[in-house]
Amino acid sequence: MITLQHTLVTLMGLRGNERELDEEVQYVLLPDAIRKYCGPRQYSHFEQAYDGSDVSWFKYPLMLKNLTKEEVDRLPKHIVSEIKKCDLGETTDIGTYEEHNTHLPPKYFAGVKKHLTQDFIFDRFVREIIDCSKMYEGKYIFNGQEYDGKGIRGVIADIEHHGVYVLAHMLNKGYGITANQEWFDKHVKERLDAEYPEELAESAYGYMKIKPEINERITNGDWSHLNEGTIPYEQYLKMYEEVIKEMPKIDYERKGAEDRVAQGKPAFETKKTKTAHEEPAEN
């Protein structure tokens, strides 16, 4: 799922509340943005090993505005010992994210969890519509046609970009929001510029460009192309419905954590599920 989609599906989960989105979008987009500093996706997305025997993890930094790559390099992290070459990412393990990031403030914690949950569901969806049984051989089948890695990435990119158009329609129909590039400049770029280091903000927003023809359709309220995607419109709706349904659950968890903090209690219960590759003790 690309960051354009992450933003809009989060807003759908907030029932179109732009003020609430403005307060959390920097956290929702962070797992992709911070890859400029931490490197492999396995870290920030808590990807399982190909055989499920291990999970990569990363302890997210508390402070973002003055963050440097050198600071990120020093953060506790772990990557699985064997990564098979593949054009698709491995499965995201949200429990491992929770285990290693209870130090985060509730809103920050929830924003990252939203991103990981969205990716988990979208990645599973991709594997349901594409035959990935030979993905470690670089072979994929979609709609009866075989693709190599480059080809299937193109198919997925088409699905993602048309998915932005579908989400924009959902927001326009449900909440009267015109989620075009100008809207992203106001509600995303301004927030990233305010909350991220300059180079991280520029890098993250550099990927958030709506395709010109799609942006024009959104701006003009032209929804006559919804059925022209790589996959049927109904499949988009079913997948997004599942993602959106999970977002209020995360907000409910966040509210509970905020209430505990207000009572002078720890925001999160420590979850200890693994003994291997533990974090070093803090001095």
Max distance between CA atoms of the chain, in angstroms, equals 60
> What is the average pLDDT across 171-197?
98
Taken in order 193, 195, 198, 202, is the CA torsion positive or negative?
Answer: negative
Whole-prediction pTM value? 0.94
CA distance readout (Å), 210 to 131, 146, 252, 276: 28, 28, 31, 42
**Tens of pLDDT, residues 137-149:** 999 999 999 999 9
As a dihedral over the C-alpha atoms of residue 122, residue 272, residue 41, residue 193, rounded to 10 degrees, the angle is 90
Write down the domain spans for the chain. Answer: 3-262
> What is the average pLDDT across 155-173?
98
**Tens of pLDDT, residues 71-88:** 999 999 999 999 999 999
